[in-house]
Amino acid sequence: KQEVTQIPAALSVPEGENLVLNCSFTDSAIYNLQWFRQDPGKGLTSLLLIQSSQREQTSGRLNASLDKSSGRSTLYIAASQPGDSATYLCAATQGGSEKLVFGKGTKLTVNP
């Protein structure tokens, strides 16, 4: 059974700082891993999807990496802005299915 863990649970940084969010998963037999952003009381916005055959994906100031052998993914945010403040969720597919298993998220606060 897939389990996804995100560390840290919360992170507070000053504006302009580069930061890394961590995600680990127990079952390396994934189809893909996806990073989402969730604002308070809202649904999820898809940020990046990394397929199992890929090592990283980039979109603007965001870069996500995937290391299946170690069961880890990182989300790198460059030059953080107050508007980046949100909860970031990592989700990995489970055991040969397309079902996504979510971590509990990292709550990011970027201070002006």
Partner 1 sequence: GAVVSQHPSWVICKSGTSVKIECRSLDFQATTMFWYRQFPKQSLMLMATSNEGSKATYEQGVEKDKFLINHASLTLSTLTVTSAHPEDSSFYICSARKGSYNSPLHFGNGTRLTVT
At 70, list the tokens: 């170690």
Least distance (Å) from partner 1 to the CB of residue 46?
4
The reply to whether 99 sits near partner 1 by the rule CB under 8 A is yes
The reply to whether 61 sits near partner 1 by the rule CB under 8 A is no
Three-state DSSP at 73 gives strand
Least distance (Å) from partner 1 to the CB of residue 9?
9
> How far, in whole angstroms, is CA 40 from its chain's centroid?
17
| 60 versus 112: smaller Cβ distance to partner 1 | 60
Rounded to an integer, what distance in angstroms lies between the CA atom of residue 93 and that of residue 84?
A: 25
The reply to whether 40 sits near partner 1 by the rule CB under 8 A is no
